Chain A
Amino acid sequence: MQNILKVKNPAHVAIHTLLIVGGFFMLFPFVWMISTSFKGDDEILTTSKEIVLLPDVARPDFLNSQEDRDRIERRAERQRLWDKEQEKPAAERDKKVRAPFKWYDNYVYAWKAQPFYRFFLNTLFVTITVTAVSLFFASLAAYAFAFFNFPFKDLAFMLMLGTMMLPQQALLIPNYIFLSKLGWINTYLSLIVPWLASAYSVFFLRQFFKQLPKDLFEAATIDGCTRFQFYYMVVLPLSKPPMVTLGIFSFLANWNSFVWPLIVTNDTNLRVIQVGLSYFSSEAGTRWGPLMAASTMTILPLVIMYFLAQKQFVESQATTGMKE
């Protein structure tokens, strides 16, 4: 805290202020999402104009307004009715009496509605495979584009960029027909193989490779270094920063991919997390509490993984500027 308050440069105060205001905009939707995921319908569906950040379970008494106290009273009443109902033998209970809201109910509801753990495992497997292999392929291609002169180079490059420009929705129909002829529908192959090549990754790495000194390449090849040796021993070690950045982008893109898995799989055992979420979303309709709980569960593993990879990622950013 001392460190933050002791400002050496007055311009930094302005910088911090701007960054904090911006950061608030970035984060608040998630704060709201998590907060809502712990609220009951009676808390969410209120026309009160007050912004209530904390759900009832986390609110100290002195913050409660009259409306809150009424709601808590109604919940206590529901609890009494429920308890009374539970005393009866199971057969005689009135089905209309619902259990009162508990703070984790939204999560339980979402977790039971779809087999989310299976979706997580599927997504993890597909994502890791695609990321690792596609990064290797892309770096080879980008190396060729950045360092070699070869026939039809510009044409090949433009064609490759061209593949990014056709909307995925237009590729779905022919690809679906092709994959079903191969017998790949409802297999992991259909989720993995088409995405092992990424024009985006090639373009991204080419931009970085082009900034590596070309003299080094000329000198090394004259000294008898083969091209693959140069790629393996010089280019790859130098491009760890962009590779890590790209690896994270690729991981995220694959974790979050939705339309493709929706079309090429319909087996629940192969379903990935985004498809699961959308099924749940149409099932839950406007039940905002469980929807926010499911969204939180989908987002959380990514955030955790991002924090774990953070050190690598930041180091990669830091070293990008070092080499000259």
Chain B
Amino acid sequence: MANKRNKDWSAYLYLMPVIVILVIFHVLPIFYSLAVSFYEWDLIGSPEFVGASNYLRLADDPMFYKSLWNTVYYAAISVPMSIFFSMLIAMLLNNPISAIGIYRTVYFIPVITSINAVAIVWNFIYHPDFGLLNKILDIFSIDPQTWLQDPFWAMPCIIFMSVWKGLGHNVIIFLAGLQNIPKHLYEAARIDGASRWQQFRHITWPLLSPTTFFVFTISTIGSFQVFSQVYMMTPRGGPLKSTMVIVYYLYRKAFEQFEFGYALAIAFTLFMIIFACTLFNKLYLEKKVHYS
């Protein structure tokens, strides 16, 4: 039976529209890029084959390691922070309280706004002289900071803004997941005298795990590709290159210094890092996911 089903090629009819477009616009360009990463090319002259030397140069490039470290720093703080707060808010919203629609709307508003517009607003909030943040800190007699111009603060500022921007998105996903958990499980647990923490640990956490897995996977991939807010808020990689993330480095190499071969070598290294992470998630973490 299983063997017979396995020869079922007709499923590809359903996949065709998606596959055709993904292959043409997303997969073939990857191979094209892969080929170019072995060349030295400024897009104007003819490409010159240089073998693996782009990759060897990468292994030796301190700025690449710095940008990789900055990206890991961004991901390691922003992903858990976003999951923690969005799960917390989703659980608060999953109670039978009044004004729930208003809260839902409020938390979702940053998500619907564009990163460009929001980055302009936060640039102004973080402004050293006229910014709102320093004015608020002044109330608590905290000295003004230069925020985006400070090597220590620039990245936390971007992380905070990014978590703020993306929070509502994850809240909605977690909320949908929470509402799929049958209510009678909680009632049974309460009758058995389970505490709130025990209910979370033994009902919410395991039954929410498909959702958590989804959010974790998507957020990790997204955070390794962070670009727009860094580009809009800290041009040229920030003070002492403290916000130089890997995609920004790639962009700079390609569109400012016209080293397309080298830029695509960076892209592929990043791709392999992300792919390895995702494969690990799928093979290892998804085993712990509880599908009903």
Cβ–Cβ < 8 Å partners of A58 in chain B: none
Contact (A170, B116) CB under 8 Å given A163-B22, A193-B21, A211-B291:
no
Contact of A171 among B30, B97, B136, B270 (CB under 8 A): B30
In the assembled complex, the CB of B124 is this many whole angstroms from the nearest CB of chain A, namely 5
Residue from the list B18, B114, B271 in contact with A170, Cβ < 8 A: B271
Once bound together, how far apart are the Cα atoms of A141 and B68, in whole Å? 34
A36-B124, A211-B180 given as contacts; is B92 within 8 A of A45 (CB)?
no
Chain B residues near A44 (CB-CB < 8 A): 130
Q: Tell me, rounded to whole Å, the shortest Cβ–Cβ distance linking B143 to chain A.
A: 12
Q: Are B214 and A207 in contact (CB under 8 A)?
A: yes
Contact call B106/A27, Cβ cutoff below 8 A: yes
Is A194 touching B25 in the complex (CB atoms < 8 A)?
A: yes
CA distance A294 to B9 in the complex (A): 52
Residue of B nearest to A179 (CB): B25
- Residues from chain A with a CB closer than 8 A to the CB of B282 are 158, 161
What residues of chain A lie closer than 8 Å to B108, measured between beta carbons? Answer: 306
Q: Chain A 160-186, CB within 8 Å of chain B: the 1/0 string?
A: 111111111111011100100000000
Given contacts A171-B29, A197-B22, contact A241 B117 (CB under 8 A): no
Residues of A close to B107: CB separation below 8 A: 22-23, 26
Is A125 part of the contact surface with B, judged by Cβ < 8 Å?
Answer: no
Q: Are A26 and B109 in contact (CB under 8 A)?
A: yes
User: What residues on A are CB-neighbors of B117 within 8 Å?
Assistant: 277, 294-295, 298-299
- Report 17 cross-chain contacts, Cβ distance below 8 Å, ordered by A residue: A4-B99, A19-B89, A26-B164, A29-B118, A47-B129, A137-B17, A138-B18, A150-B8, A156-B15, A171-B33, A197-B22, A245-B172, A258-B115, A299-B113, A299-B114, A320-B176, A320-B180
B254 to nearest A CB, angstroms? 7
Chain B binder among A62-70, A72-80, A89-97, A248-256: A248-256
CA distance A175 to B172 in the complex (A): 33
Known: A169-B250, A298-B116. 6 other contacts (CB 8 A): A148-B14, A151-B7, A156-B19, A174-B28, A211-B291, A278-B116
Q: Is the interface of B mostly helix, strand, loop or mixed?
A: helix
Closest to B172 in A: A245
Chain B interface bracket (under 10, 10 to 19, 20 to 34, 35 or more): 35 or more
In the complex, chain B residues whose CB is within 8 Å of the CB of A47:
129-130
B179 touches A321 (CB 8 A): yes
User: Smallest CB–CB gap between A65 and chain B, Å?
Assistant: 14
Tell whether A12 is near chain B: CB-to-CB under 8 Å: yes
Give the Cβ gap from B284 to chain A, nearest Cβ, in Å: 14
Query: Does the CB pair B116–A281 fall under 8 Å?
Result: yes
Q: Which of the 9-residue segments B55-63, B187-195, B197-205, B259-267 touches chain A?
A: B259-267
User: Once the chains bind, are B221 and A165 in contact (CB under 8 Å)?
Assistant: yes
Contacts of A277 in B (CB 8 A): 114, 116-117, 120
Q: Is the CB of B130 within 8 A of A144?
A: no
For the complex formed, measure the closest distance between the CB of A273 and the CB atoms of chain B, giving whole angstroms. Answer: 8
A314 within 8 A of B: yes
**Is A204 among interface residues, defined by CB-CB distance under 8 A?**
yes
| CB–CB A161/B278 < 8 A | yes
Q: Which residue of A lies closest to B27 (CB)?
A: A163
Q: Per-residue 0/1 for A14-37: is the Cβ within 8 Å of any B Cβ (1 yes, 0 no)?
A: 011011001101110110110010
On whether A295 and B109 interact (CB within 8 A), knowing A150-B11, A160-B22, A277-B116, the answer reads: no
List chain B residues, Cβ under 8 A from A324. Answer: 182
B residues in contact with A314, CB < 8 Å: 101, 104
CB neighbours of A242 from chain B (8 A): 176
